[in-house]
Amino acid sequence: MTEEINAELNGFAKLGISGQLLKATNTAGFTEPKPIQEQAIPAQLAGRDILGIAQTGSGKTAAFALPILSKIIALGTKRRPKTARALILAPTRELAVQIEETIKVLAKGAHISTALVLGGVSRFSQVKKIGPGVDFVIATPGRLMDLVREKDINLSETTWLVLDEADRMLDMGFINDVKRIAKATHPARQTALFSATMPAEIEQLTQSLLRDPVRVEVAPQGTTAAEIVQSVVLARTKQKRKVLSDMLSDDAMSSVIVFARTKHGADRVTKDLERDGFEAAVIHGNKSQNARQKALNGFRDGSVRILVATDIAARGIDVPGISHVVNFDLPDEAESYVHRIGRTGRNGRDGIAITLVDPSENSKLRQVERIIRMKLPVMADHLGQPDPAREPRPQGERSFESANDGAREDRGHRRDGRPRNDGFGKKRFGGQPQGGRPFSGKPDGERGAQGERSQGGDRPFSGKPSGERHFHGKPKGDRPFGDKPHGERKPDGAKPFRSKRRFNRKPAARAA
Ligand SMILES: Nc1ncnc2c1ncn2[C@@H]1O[C@H](COP(=O)(O)OP(=O)(O)OP(=O)(O)O)[C@@H](O)[C@H]1O
Ligand SMILES: [Mg+2]
């Protein structure tokens, strides 16, 4: 009889979600569970700790939120003052806000209370909200630590702990706070860690947080979403401003996030875009929280077409209609590439990711290719072209990074009728890069097959024959960068790339 009932159940009901929670989940448009949800929800409902790895945009939020919601709903509404039953930690304030929104939608009608604890906004209202006790606190670590220290929150009854973007939360900038916070929670808590990336050296750190965890890996860590068409545009730093502006004149780039490595760089790109006639909003850590959220909200509601961002917006942010991600430069941390481009191609939708690469960024590009285990095709090469003409620089301006400040009249010239004979002829970026979708649409194990990968010879700056662009001397073929079962991924050659994988690494900024 039970089997018959089970056979009739489908969707989230089959995973053990029921009642009002199931109703609200379905109303939210979640009727068929995603693979990470299918695999992670039953294990968590059975009380197991979990390490969940799945590509960007594949539904990890509901994978951790639904089982906790299900258990908390069963507990009823009696809460102790200043306590939180579940704690979700996220690396940025915007992501915490978004997670709270998702929880509210999934739990609609189920009398679940939530509170945000983030830096950059009033502490008073946060403390007040926690006062009577809440079901969920969604927090960034810095501000939460302040509240713990001041005894404004008591985590001793927190029996569910989630680290979203877990590898980031265990990175240098957060690890100490996260450890202290975890220690303050209930000793018999259930813990869930989720991310699209999990470098081996960070995974080791998870052992101190997890108890006999189930490891769910929908795709090997670092795998990019199959829907994202990725390519590289070779351009010197001085050429990048113009390359970007020319790209953006294509209307097919309907909703674009442009990532820059530094806050200063993001401001400069934004200014240059404005000088070139584009409206753009910017989000980075030096902006007020109000300005940050306003920029993101404008991008979300479609009133902002171009959002320029630092890696503050690289992780977790879910804006369904982003058509393109442009990396104005490569990130300091190779994993960030996976997260940056993962802002597009979410939840089964198409997306295009274009990375502008100066020859000085070659080694970063190789590190990225190593962690995503595929070679990025070159869509355009401007290196043979001269730098764009520019106005004389006002005295006192620094001469390096001159491309962006100096080329402010370039588009003006073109608009005045100067022929586009400068090597920057308009190219449509809304479409597919040359060679179509070389890495997409295949099951995991098949991606990166030799016949689909572009060859090294199309990279004139590498100065190497194509064969040498394969690292560790592995024969050309599937996943040249050590495609081993999880936990075992090691370089095939003598030199370990793990230790080299991160470049110019700095401690991550605290989010709160
Ligand atoms: N079962 C489902 N049915 C329909 N849509 C879903 C389902 N699960 C998640 N989604 C939607 O998919 C999108 C991506 O989900 P989510 O933000 O949880 O991805 P993620 O795996 O956390 O990505 P990231 O690694 O970038 O944080 C969201 O818009 C979410 O509403
Ligand atoms: Mg997420």
Same domain, 481 and 434: yes
* CA 57 / ligand 1 centre spacing (Å): 5
**Mutation pick for ligand 1 pocket among 21, 61, 102, 224 (CB with most ligand atoms within 8 Å):** 61
Q: What is the pLDDT of residue 502?
A: 47
* CA 54 / ligand 1 centre spacing (Å): 11
Same domain, 158 and 195: yes
Same domain, 319 and 460: no
Closest CA to 334 of 361, 354, 352: 361
CATH of the domain at 345: 3.40.50.300
* CA 60 / ligand 2 centre spacing (Å): 5
Residue identified by tokens 């908390």 is 72
pLDDT, average across residues 426-440 = 41
End residue of a domain, out of 168, 183, 217: 217
Q: What is the pLDDT of residue 390?
A: 67
Q: What is the pLDDT of residue 241?
A: 98
> Nearest-5° angle of CA 495, CA 500, CA 505?
170
> Nearest-5° angle of CA 286, CA 60, CA 166?
55
pLDDT, average across residues 273-284 = 98
Nearest CA to ligand 1 atom 4: 30
Closest ligand 1 atom, residue 54 Cα: 21
**Mutation pick for ligand 1 pocket among 60, 198, 217, 227 (CB with most ligand atoms within 8 Å):** 60
- Report in angstroms the alpha-carbon separations of 56 from 12, 68, 341, 438: 21, 21, 9, 19
What digits encode the pLDDT tens for the residues 193-210? 999 999 999 999 999 999
Q: How many helices (H) and strands (E) does the chain have?
A: 19, 14
User: What gap in Å lies between CA 480 and CA 502, rounded to an integer?
Assistant: 19
Same domain, 288 and 352: yes
The answer on pLDDT for 163 being more than 60 is yes
Closest ligand 1 atom, residue 32 Cα: 1
Nearest CA to ligand 1 atom 25: 56
The answer on pLDDT for 186 being more than 60 is yes
Higher-pLDDT residue of 183, 443: 183
pLDDT, average across residues 72-100 = 95
In a domain, 413, yes or no: no
The answer on pLDDT for 508 being more than 90 is no
Closest ligand 1 atom, residue 61 Cα: 18
Domain count, the chain: 3
Q: Around ion ligand 2, which residues have CB less than 5 A away?
A: 60, 316
pTM, two decimal places? 0.80
Confidence of residue 389 (pLDDT cuts 50, 70, 90): confident
In a domain, 490, yes or no: yes
The answer on pLDDT for 405 being more than 60 is no
Same domain, 100 and 51: yes
Burial 331-355, CB ≥16 within 10 A → b, else e: bbbbbbbbbbbbbbbbeeeebbbbb
Same domain, 40 and 135: yes
End residue of a domain, out of 217, 244, 268: 217
* CA 165 / ligand 2 centre spacing (Å): 7
Pairing label, strands 190-195, 160-164: parallel
Q: What is the pLDDT of residue 440?
A: 31
Tokens read off for 497 = 């790339």
In a domain, 403, yes or no: no
Dihedral sign from CA coordinates of 74, 77, 80, 82: positive
Same domain, 81 and 48: yes
Q: What residues contact residue 2 under an 8 Å CB cut-off, 6+ apart? A: none
* CA 340 / ligand 1 centre spacing (Å): 16
Helices 141-149 and 175-184: crossing angle in degrees, nearest 10, is 50
pLDDT, average across residues 31-59 = 98
Contact criterion met (CB below 8 Å) for 186 and 156: yes
Pairing label, strands 351-357, 324-327: parallel
pLDDT, average across residues 17-29 = 97
The answer on pLDDT for 14 being more than 80 is yes
Same domain, 329 and 370: yes
| Ligand with minimal distance to 343 CA | 1
Contact criterion met (CB below 8 Å) for 471 and 481: yes
pLDDT, average across residues 435-464 = 30
The answer on pLDDT for 330 being more than 80 is yes
The answer on pLDDT for 76 being more than 50 is yes
* CA 401 / ligand 2 centre spacing (Å): 34
The answer on pLDDT for 397 being more than 50 is no
User: What gap in Å lies between CA 317 and CA 235, rounded to an integer?
Assistant: 28
Mean pLDDT taken over the chain: 81
* CA 58 / ligand 1 centre spacing (Å): 5
Residue identified by tokens 């996030």 is 257
In a domain, 342, yes or no: yes
Any idea what DSSP says for residue 448? T
Residue identified by tokens 């953006």 is 248
| Ligand with minimal distance to 53 CA | 1
The answer on pLDDT for 353 being more than 70 is yes
**Mutation pick for ligand 1 pocket among 10, 30, 41, 317 (CB with most ligand atoms within 8 Å):** 30
Contact criterion met (CB below 8 Å) for 495 and 472: yes
Higher-pLDDT residue of 105, 78: 105
In a domain, 344, yes or no: yes
The answer on pLDDT for 283 being more than 70 is yes
In a domain, 393, yes or no: no
Percent of the chain at pLDDT above 70?
Answer: 74
- 3-state SS of the chain: helix, strand, coil percent to 5? 40, 15, 50
Q: What is the pLDDT of residue 298?
A: 97
End residue of a domain, out of 217, 243, 272: 217
| Ligand with minimal distance to 60 CA | 1
- Identity at 280, one-letter amino acid code: A
User: What gap in Å lies between CA 136 and CA 100, rounded to an integer?
Assistant: 9
Same domain, 147 and 90: yes
Nearest CA to ligand 1 atom 5: 30
The answer on pLDDT for 120 being more than 50 is yes
Confidence of residue 8 (pLDDT cuts 50, 70, 90): low
User: What gap in Å lies between CA 174 and CA 76, rounded to an integer?
Assistant: 33
In a domain, 142, yes or no: yes
Q: What is the pLDDT of residue 461?
A: 26
Closest ligand 1 atom, residue 320 Cα: 29
Q: What string of DSSP letters covers 381-432?
A: E-TTSPPPP-PPPPTT--STTHHHHHTTTHHHHHHTT--S-SS------SSP
pLDDT, average across residues 94-119 = 97
Same domain, 376 and 251: yes
- Report in angstroms the alpha-carbon separations of 220 from 117, 150, 211, 353, 495: 32, 41, 22, 20, 22
* CA 70 / ligand 1 centre spacing (Å): 18
pLDDT, average across residues 357-371 = 98
In a domain, 1, yes or no: no
Nearest CA to ligand 1 atom 22: 60
* CA 54 / ligand 2 centre spacing (Å): 9
Pairing label, strands 134-139, 114-117: parallel
User: What gap in Å lies between CA 330 and CA 478, rounded to an integer?
Assistant: 25
Q: What is the pLDDT of residue 448?
A: 30
Protein residues whose CB sits closer than 6 Å to any atom of ligand 1? 29-30, 32-34, 37, 54, 56-62, 196, 316, 318, 320, 342, 346-347
Q: Which domain holds residue 123?
A: 11-217
Tokens read off for 508 = 């991550």
Closest CA to 291 of 308, 274, 277: 308
Same domain, 354 and 478: no
CA atoms within 13 A on the CB side of 23: 5
- Residue 45 host element (H or E): helix 35-45
Q: What is the pLDDT of residue 102?
A: 98
Confidence of residue 451 (pLDDT cuts 50, 70, 90): very low
Same domain, 283 and 173: no
